[in-house]
Amino acid sequence: MTQITLKTSVTAQGVGLHTGRKVTLTLNPAPVNHGVVFQRLDLERQPKIPALWDKVTDTKLCTLISNENGASVGTIEHLMAALRAANVDNVLVTLDGPEVPIMDGSAEPFHFLITCAGLKTQQAAKKRLHVQKTIRVQEGDKWAEFTPSNIASFDFEVDFDHPSIGQQQRNLTLLNGNFPSQISRARTFGFAHEVEYLRSVGLAQGGSLDNAIVLDREKILNESGLRFPDEFVRHKILDAVGDLYLAGLPIMGHYTGHKAGHALNNQLLHALFADPSSYVIA
Ligand SMILES: [Zn+2]
């Protein structure tokens, strides 16, 4: 297996979920051993921020990365998931705002962009991280865990006290075609009372029923309903695929998430890299 980049550059426009402002995003081919790097074209000196676990500075509403001067890019997780699923190792993501556009709230528009650009194999061996022992992080009744496995697989369980969600469990094996067919179209979701609060403090300005599933206390407010009966747990798997690609290379191992989110996913990477006996890179 060799490293992979894009054949050509490809551009999309959309609004940022939190700023509500229009953002132009371009995925550009990049050389071997470059990794996934974001670049803010709208800031002085056009700073670059590598998409790595130790650059994550906020996980409350999305996964946000910053450099040492405070330049940041938020809501990177759905694009990261599409890049991971397409096996893209090297890409320079340029954008003219502080957030990756939310598009339709899923990873499908990014999967489509990558497909349009096409993939190009490069003259260097692909590196992967192989999990060697169990690593677990926990916070109250929420937890996330890696166990050794020869393939990349994900188990997730959500348990929301809400009539439209409840308990949902799903597994994904990240092999060719499973992500685009089962996971990438699953949208992000939020609760109307939370959205109202976020708006009142200047966030979620770009959020709408066009880019999220929104629920009130009893039901789903989107007129067209769900894309899958268990769209919620599918989206949580999507987030985990994206968040864990911040390892900087594909992880071969089995991930289990129980009510976990961006914060625990990042803590899991911190715990993994804190213990050099827990993985081998090859
Ligand atoms: Zn998400």
52-78 pLDDT tens trace = 999 999 998 899 999 999 999 999 999
Instruction: Name which of 122-126, 176-180, 252-256 the model is least confident about.
Output: 176-180
Mean pLDDT within 153-160: 96
* For the chain, domain boundaries: 2-125, 129-281
Where residue 101 falls among pLDDT bands split at 50, 70, 90?
A: very high
196 pLDDT exceeds 90? Answer: no
| pLDDT tier at 88, thresholds 50, 70, 90 | very high
Average pLDDT over residues 237-258: 98
Q: How far is the CA of 78 from the centre of ligand 1 (A)?
A: 6
| Centroid of ligand 1 to alpha carbon of 102 (angstroms) | 9
In CATH, which superfamily holds the domain spanning 2-125?
A: lpxc deacetylase, domain 1 (3.30.230.20)
Coil, strand or helix: which one is 151? coil
Cα(125) to ligand 1 centroid in Å equals 31
SS3 of residue 65 by DSSP: strand
Which residues, in sequence order, are CB contacts of 46 under 8 Å at separation 6+?
39, 40
Distance (Å) from CA 73 to ligand 1 centroid: 15
How far does the centroid of ligand 1 lie from the alpha carbon of residue 131, in Å? 24
Instruction: Please list the alpha-helical segments (H only) found in the chain.
Output: 77-85, 108-117, 178, 192-200, 231-244, 262-274
How confident is the prediction for the chain on average, in pLDDT? 96
| pLDDT > 90? residue 195 | no
Q: Catalytic residues, which ones? A: 262
197-240: pLDDT as tens digits: 888 888 888 888 999 999 999 999 999 999 999 999 999 999 99
State the average pLDDT over residues 160-170.
93
Tell me which residues have their CB within 5 A of the ion that is ligand 1.
188, 239
- The CATH number given to 129-281 is 3.30.1700.10
Q: Which residue has the higher pLDDT, 131 or 60?
A: 131
Q: How far is the CA of 275 from the centre of ligand 1 (A)?
A: 28
CA of 236 to the centre of ligand 1 (A): 7
Could you tell me which of 133, 139, 141, 71 has the C-alpha nearest to residue 99? 71
Whether 263 shows a pLDDT value over 90: the answer reads yes
